[in-house]
Amino acid sequence: MDKISPSEITPEHLFFSRRQFLTSIGALVASSVLFSACKQQDVLSDTVTSDGCESAYASKSTDELGDDLTPCQSIINYNNFYEFTTEKEEVAYLARDFKTTPWTVKVGGLVNKPQTFDMDDLRRKFPQEERIYRLRCVEAWSMVIPWLGFPLAELLKEVEPTSKAKYVSFETLYDPEQMPGQNNRMFKWPYVEGLRLDEAMHDLTILATGIYGKSLSPQSGAPIRLVVPWKYGFKNIKSIVKIDLVEEVPVSLWMAAAPDEYGFYANVNPNVPHPRWPQSSERRIGEVSRRKTLLFNGYAEEVTHLYDGMDLRKFF
């Protein structure tokens, strides 16, 4: 497979190399303030028509740490969804006609009761609840998002994993006619992600079907996507059509594309820099100054036990 050059994997690379350059001429503070201000303008500019944000609903205005929710318009106009484009501010437009009905999710592999669910089945069977989570992209920006969804564990219990099942693998729809980015030969499509079975069964892990009290828009991974809040954003695979219980560790799209940079675990860890930039701080969308990144994205109390005895530097 073709090797990817750093700048193609993430535009954030440009940010850091530019910042390093400016640091060397002693203008660090000025440059990061300028950069943040200009990014914010990008996020808020009205290049995309609003997508139901007028009637956005959330039960609270902050997460459990007291951090403000990211505005609905920012959440749906600044996206990573490489099936459409690598340009975050163009995803919403390019995905506007993405067809998400009918839609089925086929759940199988090492299970006693393989099943194909359509979205109505899923909505009827599993009550949708609100979960306010921080989302921390590996590129070092973050948001606070009020999701609607249900625990992945509920779905997995329904299909009864066998004792052989050790991991869960997820796949996004493959449809290059609708998703022009899938013609990008730099990546091996479809997008694949995976979790260890105990991570998948953890109560924080959800399948999300909505944001701010409304169904997901295409750019956010409609009609159903994974949300695992203590891991980097790329684990949160969008527009899922297939879930398999498997014995071997799944190879994600990112592991295949750049194995030295993206591991299977991808737990948010401020102490383990990405090979090309630090992970100790992040830019919260809508804020000017950077904030410190929290171990496990602030969910350490809930998830540290999953990794007892593991070297978090080695298992990145």
Ligand X SMILES: Nc1nc2c(c(=O)[nH]1)N[C@H]1C(S)=C(S)[C@@H](COP(=O)(O)O)O[C@H]1N2
Q: Which residues contact Mo ion (rule: CB under 5 A)?
A: 80, 137, 233-234
Number of residues located near ligand X, criterion CB under 6 A: 17
Residue closer to ligand X (CB basis): 83 or 282: 83
- Smallest gap, in angstroms, from Cβ of residue 23 to ligand X? 26
Nearest to 221 by CA among 156, 277, 172: 172
Out of 85, 182, 205, 220, point to the residue binding ligand X (CB under 6 A). 220
Residue 220 interface partner, choices Mo ion, ligand X, none, CB cut-off 5-8 Å depending on type: ligand X
C-alpha separations of 130 from 31, 70, 100, 209, 211 in Å: 38, 15, 22, 10, 9
- Smallest gap, in angstroms, from Cβ of residue 222 to ligand X? 10
Residue 197 gets which letter from DSSP?
H
Residue 209 interface partner, choices Mo ion, ligand X, none, CB cut-off 5-8 Å depending on type: none
Helix axes 12-24, 28-44, angle to 10 degrees: 150
Helix then strand then coil, % of the chain, to nearest 5: 30, 25, 45
The window from 39-47, 115-123, 196-204, 229-237 that contacts ligand X (CB under 6 A) reads 229-237
Out of 234, 262, 277, 316, point to the residue binding ligand X (CB under 6 A). 234
CB contact at 8 A, 274 and 298: no
Residue 238 interface partner, choices ligand X, Mo ion, none, CB cut-off 5-8 Å depending on type: ligand X
- Verify binding: residue 172, ligand X, rule CB under 6 A: yes
Cα 94 to chain centroid, rounded: 19
Binding mask 235-254 for ligand X (x = CB under 6 A): -xxxx---------------
Out of 9, 12, 82, 147, point to the residue binding ligand X (CB under 6 A). 82
Residue 191 interface partner, choices Mo ion, ligand X, none, CB cut-off 5-8 Å depending on type: ligand X
**Alpha-carbon distance 114 to 94, whole Å?**
34
- Verify binding: residue 209, ligand X, rule CB under 6 A: no
Other C-beta atoms lying within 10 Å of the C-beta of residue 275: 9
3-state DSSP assignment of residue 82? coil
- Smallest gap, in angstroms, from Cβ of residue 233 to Mo ion? 3
DSSP string across 272-294: S-BTTB--SEEEETT-SS-EEPP
Query: Residue 223, preceding bond cis, omega within 30 degrees?
Result: yes
**Alpha-carbon distance 204 to 206, whole Å?**
6
CB contact at 8 A, 57 and 212: yes
Residue closer to Mo ion (CB basis): 40 or 86: 86
- Verify binding: residue 117, ligand X, rule CB under 6 A: no
The window from 36-44, 108-116, 234-242, 295-303 that contacts ligand X (CB under 6 A) reads 234-242
β-bridge partners, 104: 118
* Footprint of ligand X (CB under 6 A): 79-83, 135, 137, 172, 191, 220-221, 233-234, 236-239
